[in-house]
Amino acid sequence: MSASSDFPLFQVNEDHEAIREAVRDLAAAKIAPFAAAVDEESRYPQEAHDALVASDFFAPHVGEEYGGVGADALATCIVIEEVARACASSSLIPAVNKLGSMPVILAGSEELKRTYLTPLAEGRSSFSYGLSEREAGSDTAAMKCRARADGDDWILNGQKSWITNAGVSDYYTVLAVTDPDGPRGSNISAFVVEKSDEGFTFGEKEGKLGIKGSPTRELIFDDVRLPGDRIVGRPGEGLKIALRTLDHTRVTIGAQAVGIAQGALDHALAYVKERKQFGKSIAEFQGIQFMLADMAMELEAARQMVYVAAAKSERGDADLPFFGAAAKCFASDVAMKVTTDAVQLLGGAGYTRDFPLERMMRDAKITQIYEGTNQVQRIVMARQVLK
């Protein structure tokens, strides 16, 4: 679990800072003004979607050979971080586009990549990821979704739960058991399913605590016929591909968590400088200053961990599983703490919808749960440490 001897842990260069400035300006102008309404109305942030497409930040990770901008992993994290600073729901657009398409990038045929990555890069289509089921969350190998061979095709039956941006996305990477009698974990394959495929439908939208602008629904498959060329990798490789995907994309959840925490700290700082009690700004009280110092310190530590993990993702370092899990786990715990403390700093005002802090606190919670709970992240880290 050490840095490669040939590279620094990470390096934020001028291009990265230019991307940060551009996304921050975009978020302030075209995402933040709608964030409260998106949450209040539980509606998809179409304004953010359109703005991200127009600015090439919709799926920045897609390579130039497929019509994308080819942003590296760190640049992609900066995009997600800066969008999340304004609206966590909106930050799931680039984040889930990477999650859904990463199996294709890692293991798909060249034909599959050109078919699905090009429209994604151009903003004509979006991607989601179908791994979890009602009884197969942390225990992914226990999934019941099945795909059976039928000539050159596959017939898909079953369901997937908690799927982010379900119903909005056109494409879905779906994991299914293809050899029911095969060894557990080596009997699962990955497929690309299209929204228009006959027999593929969606459940009702989940009513959620946070990220209300990002629809979460079940995927339901009823004899969905998939052409043989829709398989990602070889039969039986699905779970390995899924876990490799998560090694890379957990880093983006860390970035989302950092962005949420930064947004909360920004609002808290502005408030404590203006709020007066006992004849002076509450920012002058040492108790408040200690809270702010801890929030800023922990946030910066989380950011550094995420950036290190992003660099390791880009290089494909062998210790990425540890660093990806650590970055996601630590940053999400920090986001929950910082947003809760930010609400506290505003007192009664923080508990109202007049300020965005209560929304940020609700949004932060999911970062400790999805793409592997933080308890699972600790299992991943422990296994790496014990190797």
Which residues are identified as catalytic? 371
CA 305 to chain centre: 16
Q: How far apart are CA 293 and CA 272, in angstroms?
A: 13
CA dihedral (131, 132, 136, 138) positive or negative: positive
CB 222 within 8 A of CB 201: yes
Tokens of 284: 């002058």
Q: Tell me which long-range contacts 272-279 makes (C-beta under 8 A, separation of at least 24).
A: 272/345, 275/346
Asked if 63 and 70 touch (Cβ cutoff 8 Å), the reply is: yes
Positive/negative CA dihedral, 169, 117, 326, 336: negative
Strands (DSSP E) contained in 233-278 are: 276-277
Q: Helices 32-41 & 14-30, crossing angle to 10 degrees? A: 60
Taking every pair of Cα atoms in the chain, the longest distance, rounded to a whole number of angstroms, is 80
Angle 15-19-330 from CA coordinates, rounded to 5°: 100
